[in-house]
C-alpha cells in the first residue's frame, strides 16, 4: 500500500466531518477516519466536542483514547499519529485525518520534536504571574518574538517561554522543519462567514438541547478544573453556569455561540496562513523529493456541491494509486 494521507481541516462547523463521513460511506473498506481534534480525544467529552454520533459505523482511530484529563504536546501527538498511520497503511487502507485543532494539523506537516526535548519535561508553571508580566519576561529574553505577540495572548507567550526553557533557543530563531509524514491530499474546508456563523449558532442550540449541560454536570472536580484551564469552548461557560445558576439558558447559549464564532474567526486566520505556508514549502520540498506527492485544495462548501466534490477526491485518490503502481 502506498502511503497517502487525506488531511481535512477548517474552522468549527464548516463541515469537515461531513466530508470524511461521505468518503467513508462511499468506500467503507478503503478509508479510516483519524481524529486530530483535541476535545475528541477525551472519552467523557462528547456533545460539546461535536464528536461524531455515528462513530461506531466507521473505521476510526484516536477517538476516546484519553479517559483522564491529561494533555499532549504536539511532539507527542505527531509520534502517536505516525504510529497510527503506519498501522492503517499496513491494513491496505487510507487514513483521513480530520480536525480543527490547528497545531495538531500542523504537526502532520512540520516536525515539532525539537520544541520539547523529551515528552515528560517539567514545564514552568506561570499561574502566579499575570499575562502582562509574562509578556515582559519574554521581552527581556527575546524582544523580537515578544513584539510579534499580543500582550494579551497568554497561550503564545507561555509557549514561547517554554520553547526557550526547553531548548535554550530564542523563540524568534526557532524554526520547525517541513517534514510531512507521508504523501498527502490536504483539504482546507470553509464557508462564507454569514453561513458559517449561522451553522455555529444552530449547532450550539442543538448541543444544549442534546444534553450538553447534563454532560458537564456529571464530570468530577478534576475534570472541571482541567476544562477551566484548557478553555475548550463551552465547557467553562457551562461550569460557571452550573455554579452560579443565576443566568438564563438563552444567555448561556448566546455566550457560547459568540465565543465559538470568535474561535472560528481565529481558526480561519491561522488555517489560511498554514495553507499558504504548506504550499510555499511544498514547492521546495518536491524539488528535493521529486517522487513526493502533495496536493493542497481549498473548498468553499457554501458553493461547492459536496457530492461532486467527494467524487473529485475519490478520482484524485485513484489517480494517485494508479500512478504509484
> What domains can you pick out in the chain, each with its CATH number?
4-112+177-198+267-323 (3.40.50.300), 115-175 (1.10.20.140)
Query: pTM for the complete prediction?
Result: 0.84
- What is the rounded distance in angstroms from the CA atom of residue 176 to the CA atom of residue 113? 8
Nearest to 282 by CA among 198, 178, 139, 137: 178
Q: Mean pLDDT across the stretch 253-282?
A: 94
pLDDT at 209 over 60: yes
Element (H, E) at 5: strand 4-9
- What is the rounded distance in angstroms from the CA atom of residue 190 to the CA atom of residue 264? 10
- What is the rounded distance in angstroms from the CA atom of residue 109 to the CA atom of residue 248? 44
Cα torsion through 234, 238, 244, 250, rounded to 10:
80
Q: Which range, 13-22, 113-122, 173-182, has the best average confidence (pLDDT)? A: 13-22
pLDDT in tens, 48-100: 999 998 888 999 999 999 999 988 878 889 999 999 999 999 999 999 999 98
**What sign results for the dihedral spanned by CA atoms 132, 134, 135, 141?**
positive
- What is the rounded distance in angstroms from the CA atom of residue 193 to the CA atom of residue 74? 29
**What sign results for the dihedral spanned by CA atoms 22, 24, 28, 30?**
positive
Task: Assign 119 a pLDDT band (cuts: 50, 70, 90).
Answer: very low
Strand partners, 96: 6, 33
> How high is the pLDDT of residue 121?
38
pLDDT at 289 over 70: yes
Strands (E), 171-254: 177-178, 183-190
The three cell numbers of residue 177 are: 522543519
> How high is the pLDDT of residue 73?
77
The three cell numbers of residue 138 are: 519574554
Q: Assess contact for 139 and 71: CB atoms under 8 A.
A: no
pLDDT at 245 over 50: yes
Q: At what angle do helices 249-288 and 102-109 cross, to 10 degrees?
A: 10
> How high is the pLDDT of residue 123?
52
Nearest to 253 by CA among 286, 324, 205: 205
Nearest to 60 by CA among 107, 20, 109, 112: 20
> How high is the pLDDT of residue 116?
47
Q: Mean pLDDT across the stretch 21-42?
A: 94
Reduced to 3 DSSP states, what percent helix, strand and coil does the chain have, rounded to the nearest 5? 55, 10, 35
Q: Which range, 25-29, 175-179, 186-190, 242-246, has the best average confidence (pLDDT)? A: 186-190
The three cell numbers of residue 57 are: 459505523
Q: What value does the mean pLDDT of the chain take?
A: 90
Task: Assign 227 a pLDDT band (cuts: 50, 70, 90).
Answer: very high
- What is the rounded distance in angstroms from the CA atom of residue 223 to the CA atom of residue 213? 14
The three cell numbers of residue 3 are: 502511503
**Strands lying side by side in the sheet with 4-9:** 60-61, 31-35, 94-98, 4-9, 183-190, 294-300
Amino acid at each position: 500500500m502506498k502511503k497517502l494521507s487525506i488531511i481535512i481541516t477548517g474552522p468549527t462547523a464548516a463541515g469537515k466531518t461531513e466530508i470524511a463521513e461521505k468518503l467513508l460511506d462511499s468506500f467503507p473498506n478503503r478509508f479510516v477516519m483519524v481524529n486530530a481534534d483535541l476535545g475528541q480525544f477525551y472519552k467523557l467529552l462528547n456533545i460539546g466536542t461535536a464528536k461524531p454520533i455515528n462513530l461506531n459505523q466507521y473505521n476510526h482511530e484516536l477517538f476516546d483514547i484519553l479517559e483522564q484529563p491529561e494533555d499532549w504536546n504536539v511532539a507527542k501527538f505527531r509520534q502517536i499519529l505516525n504510529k497510527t498511520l503506519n498501522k492503517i497503511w499496513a491494513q491496505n487502507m487510507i487514513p483521513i485525518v480530520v480536525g480543527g485543532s490547528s497545531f495538531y494539523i500542523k504537526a502532520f506537516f512540520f516536525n515539532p520534536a525539537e520544541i520539547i526535548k523529551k515528552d515528560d519535561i517539567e514545564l514552568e508553571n506561570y499561574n502566579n504571574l499575570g499575562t502582562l508580566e509574562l509578556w515582559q519576561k519574554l521581552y527581556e529574553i527575546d524582544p523580537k518574538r515578544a513584539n510579534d505577540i499580543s500582550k494579551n495572548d497568554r497561550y503564545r507567550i507561555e509557549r514561547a517561554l517554554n520553547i526557550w526553557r526547553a531548548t535554550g533557543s530564542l523563540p524568534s530563531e526557532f524554526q520547525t522543519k517541513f517534514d510531512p509524514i507521508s504523501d498527502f491530499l490536504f483539504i482546507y474546508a470553509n464557508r462564507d462567514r454569514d453561513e458559517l456563523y449561522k451553522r455555529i449558532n444552530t449547532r450550539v442550540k442543538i448541543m444544549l438541547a442534546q444534553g450538553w449541560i447534563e454532560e458537564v454536570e456529571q464530570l468530577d472536580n478534576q475534570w472541571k478544573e482541567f476544562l477551566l484551564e484548557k478553555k475548550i469552548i463551552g465547557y467553562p461557560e457551562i461550569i460557571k453556569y452550573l455554579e452560579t445558576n443565576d443566568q438564563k439558558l438563552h444567555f448561556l447559549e448566546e455566550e457560547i455561540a459568540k465565543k465559538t464564532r470568535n474561535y472560528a474567526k481565529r481558526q480561519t486566520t491561522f488555517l489560511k496562513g498554514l495553507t499558504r505556508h504548506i504550499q510555499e514549502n511544498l514547492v521546495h520540498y518536491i524539488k528535493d523529493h521529486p517522487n513526493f506527492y502533495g496536493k493542497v485544495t481549498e473548498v468553499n462548501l457554501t458553493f461547492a456541491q459536496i457530492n461532486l466534490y467527494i467524487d473529485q477526491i475519490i478520482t484524485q485518490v485513484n489517480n494517485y494509486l494508479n500512478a504509484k503502481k
